[in-house]
Chain A
């Protein structure tokens, strides 16, 4: 029977033909955890499950990115315990403070590969779908079980197919596509499901990462771009790692990229989306450019094209947090960082930054933030009385200049 990409990958891992709704236990290629969850994973693994060792240290990865560097004694102690565990277990895939966001590093370091199943103790593990890897987020117990056994249980998801057409207009980004889809379909449209993107030729790897990370906000179990020329130019794609033409999809959506305009997710839900031209004026106190969704070189470059040689509006704190050390180096190397800092943006340590409201830019009562992150839930970045708007890095940069949410198409920047 014909298969979707998710069915293909899970069948391959399970060693038998599976289809949507089948339950299975599969080996996973990589299981990863992060600073805020790993202490609990370690406890479940060693105390509750009574395992002395991880199943295979090569197939485990750990990252210190969510509160990095540590902001208080509790987080510092937890990080000490993670480093000890990494030494005791001879785990080589360990990325400490400043190396970057887990999901970015999973791709940069080649820890996720096309056709594999990779699971993370972080919901945005769907990002690995950018390269045709079945990436999925789980909680501490599932990750501890995977650390102990190298396996996990899965129900094979049904799949929604999204057929992209055309090319994005100038200053419109994959983030806008993601927000538009979430706004149109709703935050639970893909719960328990996979999303499969076809026709993504116009999207760079960075854009695909942005798009796939956001499928989590549709509730998806996985969000994957079908491997194409670009994927094959970067990876060895197994010949079976493609969906069949007559695969069964529960829903098929066609999407014309050329008609898209910048989108804004308004407080306090990611599916509360408006095209920027329908938005009433909104003054902002803080602009945040970063996260696993929009902290890559492509994102910083488009922001630098807008901010370079100009001055950020007074009273607007503009925080730039590169997704990884390598992104930071790239941005220094090509002058992007100089352009951003010249406009008086502020640079933070590569990692999650203020995305989750724990450090490096927590919002106070009544404050408004325009963020390139993927969530704007009430209280996510600090006070429940603060407001978070989500948008692309192009919108973020134009907003930083004007001090109010601004359409980057208003001007020909350069």
Chain B
């Protein structure tokens, strides 16, 4: 069963993936290993396919490095629910096809609890609790549906509208 990884406010991309561990400095193959390497070293060892990140405000602030959300995707993160996202992180994650939901639920869930997410319906179940997540705009929905913007572009030959 997937679990929640809980984070606070203003999680910056240097926490998600420090610049020193970029594929440029190391290698693409190692990328997943370095997710939260300094901030939460157990993350990359214990994360399981389908786990979800729940965070506070301004998640992913800082650098434009797409390898930060790419590392999370490679680790198996199935979705991120945060009160708000930094702009470039949001774009990057959307482009990579990682579902992001803007919802303020961090105060109501515990780290490590089991969770069930229905991405299409936007329903998150934590024990008895059911959270209805805000539906994504059409542009975003179309991008998710094809698994990211590159796939969308290859299939349609233009940007989503």
A378 within 8 A of B: yes
Given A139-B91, A357-B20, A378-B15, 6 more contacts at CB 8 Å?
A36-B24, A37-B66, A40-B23, A142-B92, A145-B159, A375-B63
Q: A151–B23 contact, CB under 8 A?
A: no
Q: Which residues of A contact B87 (CB under 8 A)?
A: 191-192, 219, 221
B38 interface neighbour in A144, A191, A221, A384, Cβ under 8 Å: A384
Q: Which residues of B contact A286 (CB under 8 A)?
A: none
With A139-B92, A188-B58 known to touch, is A358 a contact of B66 (CB < 8 Å)?
Answer: no
Tell me the minimal C-beta distance from A18 to chain B in angstroms. 14
B22 within 8 A of A: yes
Q: Which residues of A contact B (CB under 8 A)?
A: 23, 25, 35-37, 39-40, 44, 48-50, 66-67, 72, 74-75, 78, 120-123, 137-142, 144-145, 151, 153, 187-188, 191-192, 219, 221, 269, 356-358, 362, 375, 377-380, 382, 384
B84 within 8 A of A: yes
Q: Which residues of B contact A357 (CB under 8 A)?
A: 18-20
Tell me the minimal C-beta distance from A188 to chain B in angstroms. 4
User: Which residues of chain B in 10-50 are interfacial with respect to chain A, using CB atoms and an 8 Å cutoff?
Assistant: 10, 12, 14-15, 18-20, 22-27, 38-39
Q: Which residues of A contact B126 (CB under 8 A)?
A: none
Q: In this complex, what residue of A is CB-closest to B93?
A: A139
Interface of B is mostly: loop
Q: B86–A141 contact, CB under 8 A?
A: no
Q: B25–A67 contact, CB under 8 A?
A: yes
A187 interface neighbour in B10, B65, B148, Cβ under 8 Å: B10
Q: In this complex, what residue of A is CB-closest to B58?
A: A188
Q: How far is the CA of A380 from the CA of B160 in the complex (A)?
A: 35
With A25-B159, A141-B95 known to touch, is A35 a contact of B88 (CB < 8 Å)?
Answer: no
B96 within 8 A of A: yes
Identify which of B18, B19, B84 gathers the most chain A CB atoms within 10 Å of its CB.
B19
Tell me the minimal C-beta distance from B87 to chain A in angstroms. 5
Q: B38–A137 contact, CB under 8 A?
A: no
Q: In this complex, what residue of B is CB-closest to A193?
A: B87
Q: A378–B64 contact, CB under 8 A?
A: no
Q: B58–A358 contact, CB under 8 A?
A: no
B149 within 8 A of A: yes
Q: How far is the CA of A379 from the CA of B21 in the complex (A)?
A: 11
Q: List 12 A-B contacts (CB under 8 A).
A: A25-B158, A25-B159, A36-B24, A39-B23, A138-B92, A140-B67, A141-B149, A191-B58, A191-B84, A219-B86, A356-B19, A384-B38
Identify which of B26, B39, B62 gathers the most chain A CB atoms within 10 Å of its CB.
B62
Q: Which residues of A contact B95 (CB under 8 A)?
A: 139, 141-142
Q: A72–B154 contact, CB under 8 A?
A: no
Q: B24–A78 contact, CB under 8 A?
A: yes
Q: How far is the CA of A145 from the CA of B26 in the complex (A)?
A: 25
Q: Which residues of B contact A139 (CB under 8 A)?
A: 64-66, 88, 91-92, 95
Q: Which residues of B contact A25 (CB under 8 A)?
A: 158-159, 161
Q: How far is the CA of A335 from the CA of B95 in the complex (A)?
A: 49
Q: How far is the CA of A124 from the CA of B146 in the complex (A)?
A: 30
Tell me the minimal C-beta distance from B18 to chain A in angstroms. 5
Q: Which residues of B contact A187 (CB under 8 A)?
A: 10, 58, 61
